Amino acid sequence: MASILARLGAFAFRRRATVAIVWLLVLAGTLIAMLSAPPAPPDDFSMPGTESQRTFELMDERFPGVNAETGSATVVFVAPEGSQITDPRYRATIDEAVAELGSVDQVDRVDAPFESDAVSADKSAAYASVTFDVGAASVTTATRTAVDDVVAGARVGGLTVDAGGDALESGGPTGVAEMIAIALAAVILLVTLGSIVAAGLPLLTALVGVGISMLSILALADTLGLSSTSSTLALMLGLAVGIDYALFVVSRYREERAAGRTPIDAVSMAAGTAGSAVLFAGLTVVIALAGLTVIGMPMLTKMGLAAAGAVVVAVLAALTLVPAIIGLAPQRVLSRKARRDGVVVVGGDGSTKPSAAQRWSGFILHRPILSVVVGVLALGLLAIPVADLRLGMPGDESKSTSTSQRRAYDELATAFGPGFNGPLMIVVDAQRAPAPDAAVTTIADRIAAVDGIASVSPAMPNEMGDTALFQAIPTTAPTDAQTETLVHHLRDIRVDLVRGTGATFTVTGNTAINIDLSSKIQGALVPYLATVIGLAVLLLLIVFRSILIPVTAALGFLLSVLAALGVTVLVFQKGVLDSVFGVEVTGPIQSAVPIFVIGIVFGLAMDYEVFLVSRMREAYVTGVGAREAIARGMTQSARVVVAAALIMMAVFGGFVVESDAFIKMLGLSLAAAVLFDAFVVRLCIVPAVMALLGDSAWWLPRWLGRILPAVDIEGGALDKSDAVPEPESGTPAAGSRV
C-alpha cells in the first residue's frame, strides 16, 4: 500500500497542474448540479418496525392523504394580562391577520381560531393553524418572510403574536460556525507550520473537498432523501478531517525535506507514509459511519453515509490534491527558517534545549504509573453522568427564547397545557368490532380517564367507518420523562382499555415516534459500541502486529467516548455551565448524538493512534529499545497530533454556536471527545502503558503473525523499492542542502 501511494503522490507532484484542474472541474460540475437540483427534504425520523411507524402505515392505508407531507405552522395570539382574546378589538386584529396569512404564497389554508375552537379555556390565547401546499423543505424564504411580516404586523394594542412550526425552519448551518472554525484552524496551522503557504494549503484543500462534498449532497438531496442535517454533519466532519489529513501529509513532507530529500522524493515518501496512515484513518471513519446502517433508522443511515462520503473526498484530496499543490510551491511550503538556512534539524532548531514533546515524553516515561492512574481516574469521573443519560428529540423548547418558534411553544404550553405541544395520536382499528362507533367511544373514554391524559379530541372516522383517530393530550411536556412513561403505560394496559369492544388501538404521533426512536437507539448503543471496539482491536492488530497495543487503544477509546458523553449530559441534561454554551433549557440528549459520537470518535481515535504509535513502531523495528522508541515517536509526532487535535476541537467547537440543538450537542460532544482522546488517552495513557509493558507491548504469537496480512503503514519498504522516484531533471540530488 505504501508503495502504491508513494507512486500516486509522485504522479500528482509531476502532473500538478492537471490534477489541480481536474479537482476544480469536479468542483464546478457539482456546483452546476446543485444549482439545478430541488431543495433538500425535511428530516425523516421514521423507524421501521416500531409501533408508531406501523400506525402511520395503517393511517396511510385507512386514511389516504392524511399523512401527506405538507408544511405547517402555528400562529399564537396572546391577549395582554387581564384581557381576553375574544375582545372585539383583538378579534378584529386576529381575523385580519388570518386573512393576510391566507393570501400568502404557498399557503393552502388557515384555520381561524374562533371557527375551529382554538381558544384557551381562560380566553387568554388562541392559535391559527396554517397549512402549506408544499412540504416544509420547499417553503421559500419569501414565504417565511411574508408570514413573519404578518405576525409582526399583528402585534398591536398589546397583543403578543408568535409563530412556530416545521415550515418556518430555515434549516442548515448559519455560516458563523464555519467562519469560527476556519479562523481558529488558520491560527493553529500558522503557529504549527510557521509559513503562510504551508498553513493555507490544508485549509485550501479541505475547503475544496468540503465544497465538492456539500454540493454533491445538496445535488442528490432530493433523489436520495438527504436532509439539511445530513449536509451539516458532512460539513462538520469533512472540514475537520480534511484539514487534519492534509496537515499530516504536509508535515511529513517537511520532515523528509529536512532529512535532505528532494521535493519529489519528499512528496513520494510523505504520500507513502503519512498517506498510508491517512488512508487507514479515513477507512476507519467510513466503516464506523457506514456501520450506522445496522441501527435500522433511515435518517441515521443517510446521515452516516453522507458524512462517510465527505471523509472519502477528504482522503482523496490529501493523497492527490495536496501533493499537486506542494508541487506548485515546493519551497514555499517550508518554514521561513528552513528556506533561509537550507537545513532543518528534525525535532528541533539545532539547540540542545529539549522540545516540549521531549520534555513531556520524559515525564511520561519516568512516571508511567502516575500518568495512567491520573488519566484513567479523570476520565472515569467525567464518565459517571452517563449513567443518567436520557435520550429524546428536543423540539422548539430547546431553541433560544429570542426565536419566535420558542416563544410560540411557551405561549401554547402556558395557555393550553404543557402537553399541547406534543399530542399523542390514537388510531382505533375497529374492523372486527360488532359496533365500531361504540367501540371507538368506549376506548376514547377509557383513555381519557388514564392518569397523565389531560383531554382527548373528538374521534374522526374514515370513510369505511372501520377506523378512527383522535388526539390524546398528555398533562406533561413532549420531552418530559413522565410522557415517555405514559406512552409505554398506554401500550402496557391496552388489553384492559379495549376489553369487550372487539377493537384495538395503537399510539403514534411525533411524540410517540420520538420516544420509540430514542428507545431503539438506546437499545442499540451497547451493541454498536461493542462492535466498534472489536473492530478497533482487529484493525490495530493488523496495523501494529501486537496484541496489547490494540487492546489499550480500544479501552482508551471507550474511556474518551464515555467521558465526552458524560460532559454532554452534565451540560445539556443537568445544566452545568449551560449558560456558557448557550443552553437555555435542559432536557434529554438528542437520540442520534451518542451513536454519532461513537462512530466519529472511533475513526479519529484510530487516526491519532496510528500517527503516534506508527512512528514508535518505525523506530522499534529498526532495533531501538522499547522506551527509546516511545520517546522518538512522541518527539516526532506529538507536535503534529496536538495541532491536529486542536484543529478538530476548533472545528467541532465552532458548531456549538449553532441554534440547532442536535448540531450544538454534537459539536460539544465531539470537541470534548477529541480533547480527551488526543491529550489524555493518546499522549498520556497509551505511552505510559507501553512504557510499563516494555518489549511485551509488541508481543504477537508467531502463529497469529503468519495469519495476519502485512500492512506496511510505516512505509518501511519504501527505501528498499523503486517506489520513491528518481529526482526530476533540474532538482537537487537527495542528501543535498534544501
Q: Could you tell me where the DSSP H helices lie in 130-195?
A: 141-153, 176-193
Question: Phi, psi at residue 114, to the nearest 5°?
Answer: -80, -10
- Cβ-proximal residues to 172 (8 Å cutoff; 6+ apart), any chain: 228, 231, 232
How confident is the model over 617-637, as a mean pLDDT?
86
Q: 454: closest CA among 417, 403, 497? A: 417
Cα gap 490→450, rounded to integer Å: 8
Residues forming beta bridges with residue 472, ordered by sequence position: 424, 456
The DSSP code sequence of 514-556 is HHHHHHHHHHHHHHHHHHHHHHHHHHHHHHH--SHHHHHHHHH
Q: Which three cell numbers stand for residue 521?
A: 437507539
Q: Any idea which of 176-180, 208-212, 474-478, 564-568 has the lowest mean pLDDT? A: 176-180
Record the cell numbers describing residue 536, joined without a space: 478497533
Exposure class string for 291-306: b at 16+ Cβ within 10 A, else e = bbeebebebbbbbbbb
Q: Answer yes or no: is pLDDT of 735 > 60.
A: no
pLDDT band with cut points at 50, 70 and 90 for residue 465? confident
Give me the pLDDT at residue 729, please.
41
Write the DSSP symbol of residue 128: E
Q: Domains in the chain, start-ordered, CATH in brackets?
A: 1-36+175-183+197-333 (1.20.1640.10), 69-168 (3.30.70.100), 357-391+528-711 (1.20.1640.10), 398-514 (3.30.70.360)
- On whether the CB atoms of residues 382 and 563 are closer than 8 A, the answer is yes
Could you read off the pLDDT of 334-382 as tens digits, one per residue? 877 666 665 444 444 444 567 888 888 899 999 999 999 999 999 999 9
Mean pLDDT of 472-491: 91
Q: Where are the alpha helices (DSSP H) in 367-509?
A: 368-383, 404-416, 436-448, 481-492, 494-498
Q: Which residues pair with 391 in a beta bridge?
A: 589
Mean pLDDT for 652-659 is 79
Mean pLDDT score of the chain? 84
The residue count of the chain comes to 738
pLDDT, residue 341, reads: 60
Range scoring the smallest mean pLDDT among 79-93, 179-193, 249-263, 468-482: 179-193
In this prediction, residue 20 carries a pLDDT of: 93
pLDDT higher than 60, residue 719: no
250-271 burial: b if 16+ Cβ within 10 Å, else e: bbbbbbbbbbbbbbbbbbbbbb
pLDDT band for position 333 (cuts 50, 70, 90): confident
| The pLDDT of residue 46 | 64
DSSP 8-state class, residue 48: T
Angle at 604 between CA 600 and CA 610, to 5 degrees: 145
pLDDT of residue 240: 81
pLDDT tens for each residue of 513-540 = 888 888 888 888 888 888 888 887 888 8
What confidence score (pLDDT) does residue 487 get? 93
pTM (2 d.p.): 0.79
Question: What is the predicted pLDDT for the residue at 36?
Answer: 81
What is the mean pLDDT of the segment spanning 30-58? 77
Cβ distance 226 to 306 under 8 Å?
yes
Q: Produce one character per residue of 28-51: b if its CB has 16 or more CB atoms within 10 Å, e if not.
A: eebeeebeeeebbbbbebbbeebb
In the chain, the percentage of residues whose pLDDT exceeds 90 is 28
Structure confidence by residue, pLDDT tens digits, 581-605: 877 778 888 888 888 888 888 877 8
**Locus of grid cell 478497533:** 536
User: Helix, strand, coil % (nearest 5) of the chain?
Assistant: 65, 5, 30
pLDDT at 316: 94
Tens digits of per-residue pLDDT, 20-43? 999 999 999 999 988 887 766 666
More confident residue, 306 or 174: 306
Give pLDDT tens digits for 156-167.
Answer: 888 999 988 877
In angstroms, the CA 224 to CA 442 distance is 44
For residues 387-396, average pLDDT? 82
Average pLDDT of span 204-229 = 83
- Strand 125-132 and strand 107-111: the pairing is antiparallel
The pLDDT of residue 528: 83
Beta-strand ranges (E) seen in 275-334 are none
Q: Are 326 and 262 contacting, i.e. CB atoms less than 8 angstroms apart?
A: no
